[in-house]
A and B are shown apart, each in its own frame.
Chain A
Amino acid sequence: GAVVSQHPSRVICKSGTSVKIECRSLDFQATTMFWYRQFPKQSLMLMATSNEGSKATYEQGVEKDKFLINHASLTLSTLTVTSAHPEDSSFYICSAPGQGFENYGYTFGSGTRLTVV
């Protein structure tokens, strides 16, 4: 089935540095990738939608200059948290529509736990 590989699974960084999270679709082409943020014991909150070859669409309240999204190819989307601060510590998950909805539905990456110290 469709697989989205997300790396790293965990990252600890110092305040003020940038962190890049990658999501790759392994056996299908993902023209769209959704990026979510999840706080402990809460639901997934959509941050932005990336589309291959065009600018990402950000949800209201999400700073596009802080959360840089690049969808460089049909199999790779990246989220860069720039000048990270402790309040950016969270769990980040990507998701992509699979190849043929009837067969795969939507596939999620395994998530990245970001801790900013």
Chain B
Amino acid sequence: DAGVTQSPTHLIKTRGQQVTLRCSPKSGHDTVSWYQQALGQGPQFIFQYYEEEERQRGNFPDRFSGHQFPNYSSELNVNALLLGDSALYLCASSLGPGQAEAFFGQGTRLTVV
């Protein structure tokens, strides 16, 4: 039973560029959430997708957007990258949007230079 998988594992981008990160949820899960974990900090909630719609959003600017596909996989897009966007981006999946228990992927390490 595959867990949550994310790609790529590492990424280096230049300021101003755009990036797309990908996530496949755990088998049987239909809800995907994205988190940003800056160095030395706990993960911070970006947004959650369920039924291909953004259901809840954290305190992140519109430069952060996402998408969920019919197979429940998801993408996180970040436009106009800033140095401060450098972080580990975590994807979590759950069975249903109201389920508090989530399973996390290993993350994508994004470095903006």
A binds B: no
Q: Which residues of A contact B (CB under 8 A)?
A: none
